[in-house]
């Protein structure tokens, strides 16, 4: 994976200051970099490390170009430069473009060109793997489901029936797509299952982290739009719609039939209750619970800030008295107004 600095400059369309023939063998942070590694300065908090870093070259903003003692790649957005160059040093093995003999593939499945299917994967009836799709070891692609071009399904993923996954989409290990939504009707204390006859529609350029669960729709499809990025442990309930390029951090859960707009971000551990609508560009901070629709872009939060447990206990006890406090405060104010009038 060695490249010359000149090749990398060309790949990034970056201005090169220094030795174009310098060999770069890897990427590292400024403080961890060894000679022959490329680093970057994206956060000004680490600016002082420019002078001590062992990196052979650093991607920097034009304003910091003068501060680099050695080689520099100068870019308006060094973090984006780092993201792009990371692709050159990817360690993930490419697909084999072969079908392992232990894989079990239905005769009715349609397998495109250059598809990779790893050991013990299972491709069920009428499933479609488009050109260049990669299926990891032990993964199951259910009846009638489709994996788009150049999409990669990692190991031990479970795709149920009637799931459509677009192109260039990634699903990490342990994730489940198309499991039943949680729907029951009450019949005199008995739960009667509502069979979930919808599917799941996942767009292009989506990434789904490890151990996620995306339920199939009750009637129509659950929908993850193109460009959505989901971290690990994301729960997407039946008939949810996640708008384009929205990103959701680990452990967040979206309840049934909720629609989240485009370019939103949910930080880790966020809950969104069912049947809500969040407009585009809504941002929710970690472990907040959204119980009402959000009609205005912006940042939203719930919860309390952390304290030492002994202090917190006092606040938590007082929290339960807040309504009484309010009344007592009002009474005090009235009493003072009364005394003012006297």
Residues 93-152 that bind a copy of itself (CB under 8 A): 93, 100, 102, 104, 118-120, 122, 124-125, 136-138, 140, 142-143
Q: Which is nearer to a copy of itself, 20 or 329 (CB)?
A: 329
Mapped onto helix, strand or coil, the DSSP state of residue 67 is: helix
Assess 47 for contact with a copy of itself (CB under 8 A). Answer: no
Give me the least distance between CB of 43 and a copy of itself, in Å please: 10
Q: Report how many residues bind a copy of itself under the rule CB under 8 A.
A: 141
- The residue assigned the tokens 């006297």 is 342
Q: Is 223 annotated as catalytic?
A: no
By DSSP bridging, strand 229-230 and strand 207-208 are parallel
Contact characters 197-226, a copy of itself, x per CB under 8 A: x-x-------x-xxxxx-x--xxx------
Cα–Cα distance list, 254 to 88, 194, 235, 274 (Å): 35, 19, 6, 7
Cα–Cα distance list, 288 to 12, 96, 191, 246, 271 (Å): 38, 43, 30, 17, 6
Of the ranges 47-55, 58-66, 107-115, 193-201, which one interacts with a copy of itself (CB under 8 A)?
193-201
Assess 295 for contact with a copy of itself (CB under 8 A). Answer: no
Give, as one character, the DSSP assignment of residue 15: E
End-to-end CA distance of the chain: 86
The residue from 100, 172, 238, 263 that is catalytic is 238
Give me the least distance between CB of 4 and a copy of itself, in Å please: 19
The conformational region for residue 168 under phi > 0 = left, psi -120 to 50 = alpha, else beta, is left
Residue 207 forms beta bridges with which residues?
170, 229
Residue 247, judged by CB atoms within 10 A of its CB (0-12, 13-18, 19+), counts as middle
Task: Specify whether the CB–CB gap between 248 and 262 falls below 8 A.
Answer: no
Q: Which is nearer to a copy of itself, 16 or 121 (CB)?
A: 121
Give me the least distance between CB of 51 and a copy of itself, in Å please: 20
Q: Which is nearer to a copy of itself, 10 or 86 (CB)?
A: 86
Task: Specify whether the CB–CB gap between 254 and 237 falls below 8 A.
Answer: yes
Assess 70 for contact with a copy of itself (CB under 8 A). Answer: no
The residue within the footprint of a copy of itself, chosen from 63, 107, 298, 341 (CB under 8 A), is: 298
The residue within the footprint of a copy of itself, chosen from 176, 204, 279, 280 (CB under 8 A), is: 176
Q: Which residues in 22-41 contact a copy of itself (CB under 8 A)?
A: 26-29, 32
Give, as one character, the DSSP assignment of residue 294: B
The residue within the footprint of a copy of itself, chosen from 156, 167, 222, 258 (CB under 8 A), is: 156
CA–CA distance, 196 with 300 (Å, rounded to integer): 32
The residue within the footprint of a copy of itself, chosen from 60, 229, 240, 243 (CB under 8 A), is: 229
The residue within the footprint of a copy of itself, chosen from 52, 63, 185, 295 (CB under 8 A), is: 185
CA–CA distance, 224 with 243 (Å, rounded to integer): 7
Assess 290 for contact with a copy of itself (CB under 8 A). Answer: yes
Give me the least distance between CB of 156 and a copy of itself, in Å please: 5
Assess 321 for contact with a copy of itself (CB under 8 A). Answer: yes
Q: In what order do the strands lie in the sheet with 71-74?
A: 15-17, 71-74, 57-60, 37-40, 26-27
Q: Which is nearer to a copy of itself, 130 or 237 (CB)?
A: 237
Q: Which residues in 249-288 contact a copy of itself (CB under 8 A)?
A: 249-251, 253, 255, 263, 267-269, 271, 273, 283-288
CA–CA distance, 121 with 26 (Å, rounded to integer): 33
- Which residues are designated catalytic? 238
């Amino acid at each position: 994976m060695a490249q010359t600095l000149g090749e990398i400059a060309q790949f990034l369309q970056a201005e090169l200051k220094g030795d174009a023939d310098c060999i770069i063998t890897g990427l590292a942070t400024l403080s961890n970099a060894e000679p022959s590694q490329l680093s970057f300065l994206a956060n000004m908090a680490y600016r002082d490390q420019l002078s001590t870093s062992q990196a052979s070259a650093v991607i920097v903003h034009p304003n910091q170009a003068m501060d680099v003692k050695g080689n520099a790649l100068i870019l308006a957005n060094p973090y984006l430069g780092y993201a792009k160059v990371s692709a050159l040093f990817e360690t993930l093995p490419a697909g084999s473009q072969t079908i392992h003999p232990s894989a079990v593939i239905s005769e009715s499945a349609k397998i495109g060109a250059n598809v990779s299917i790893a050991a013990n994967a299972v491709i069920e009836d009428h499933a479609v793997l488009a050109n260049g799709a990669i299926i990891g070891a032990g993964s199951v692609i259910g009846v009638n489901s489709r994996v788009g071009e150049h999409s990669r399904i990692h190991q031990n993923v479970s795709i149920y029936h009637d799931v459509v996954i677009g192109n260039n989409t990634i699903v990490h290990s342990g994730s489940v797509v198309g499991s039943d939504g949680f729907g029951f009707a009450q019949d005199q204390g008995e739960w009667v299952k509502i069979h979930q006859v919808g599917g799941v529609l996942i767009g292009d350029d989506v990434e789904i982290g490890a151990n996620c669960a995306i339920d199939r729709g009750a009637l129509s499809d659950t929908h993850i739009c193109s460009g959505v990025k989901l971290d690990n442990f994301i729960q997407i309930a039946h008939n949810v719609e996640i708008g384009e390029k929205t990103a959701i951090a680990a452990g967040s859960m979206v309840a049934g039939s909720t629609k989240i707009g485009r370019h939103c971000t949910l930080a880790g551990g966020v809950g969104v209750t069912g049947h809500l609508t969040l407009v585009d560009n809504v941002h929710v901070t970690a472990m907040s619970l959204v119980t009402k629709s959000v009609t205005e872009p912006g940042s939203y939060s719930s919860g309390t800030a952390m304290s030492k447990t002994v202090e917190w206990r006092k606040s938590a006890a007082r929290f339960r008295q807040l309504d009484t406090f309010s009344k007592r405060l009002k009474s005090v104010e009235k009493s003072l107004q009364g005394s003012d009038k006297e």
